[in-house]
Structure 1
Amino acid sequence: MRALTHIPPPAGLRTPPLSYAVRTGDLLYVSGIGPLNADNSVPDGFEAQMQLVLATLDKVLAQAGADRSRLVKVNVLLTREEDVKEMNRLYAAWYGPGPYPARTTAVVKALPLPEFLLEIEGVAALG
């Protein structure tokens, strides 16, 4: 069995009973990231929440020595179907011209906090 390396949360974020990311071999598994500020507040509106989640994802990847170009799989959970188009726009602007990682987008009934409109998790190849 390969050793696991637990990546700490970005500075200031609270730590629920999980690792923000775990490395095994050349793979980094990033836990679902919700739109939570360092002061535990949740921004209003989908765009603000999406921007915060993407910024936090960048920080988690950086702490593992990676960046978004290393993502191979992303899962996006939304609580409102009407946000899919905006999510695609913001995601494309954040990631760049591609090629993009494989991605699943699902609309779910609820996320850990009722204010959360989305959550993103992913897998990165660190090679």
Structure 2
Amino acid sequence: MPIQHFAPPAHIQAPPLSFAARTGDLLFISGIPGYDDNRQLPDDFEAQFGFVVVNITRVLTEAGASLRDLVKLNVLLTRAADVAPMNKLYAQAFGPAPYPARTTCVVQALPDPKMLIEIEGIASLAK
């Protein structure tokens, strides 16, 4: 089966990559940052998280899927203090249970020094 690639949303300046690639019934979503529609990163964590969810939703919609089709997410944070707020926001965005499987890592830095969060994932497109 051929692999289908999805370009980055127009409002995000991206490195050379596909924001998502589909093979069979699986959609692999690249790390999604919290850029707003003006290609800016808000200063606060909650706003960046919100835009990450908006941007993931856009990628999923283009592939004919929704947040409920996510089966695995990897969350990268640059500050350990954001884990608790992220859990609250995550439950609101990706709930109700059952939630996607998840790994959360606190990393030293992300590609843009203002990035506080990045989320990548896998969605099932089986209907």
TM-score of Structure 1 vs Structure 2, range by shorter chain:
over 0.9
* Deviations 1:77-121 (CA, angstroms, capped at 9, x unpaired): 000000000000001001121101110000000000000001000
Partner in structure 2 of residue 118 of structure 1? 117
Cα distance in structure 2, aligned partners of 1:97 and 1:39: 30
One-letter amino acid of the structure 2 residue matched with residue 63 of structure 1: E
Q: What does 1:10-49 align with in structure 2 at a 5 Å threshold? A: 10-49=9-48
Cα distance in structure 2, aligned partners of 1:66 and 1:22: 13
- Contact kept, 8 Å, 1:31 with 1:122, in 2: the verdict is yes
Give aligned-pair identity as a percent: 54
Q: Structure 2, unaligned stretches of length 5 or more?
A: none
Tell me the TM-score normalized by structure 2. 0.95
Offset at residue 46 of structure 1 (A): 0.4
Offset at residue 14 of structure 1 (A): 2.3
Q: What does 1:1-127 align with in structure 2 at a 5 Å threshold? A: 2-127=1-126
One-letter amino acid of the structure 2 residue matched with residue 36 of structure 1: Y
Cα distance in structure 1, aligned partners of 2:78 and 2:63: 29
Cα distance in structure 1, aligned partners of 2:57 and 2:75: 15
Cα distance in structure 2, aligned partners of 1:104 and 1:30: 15
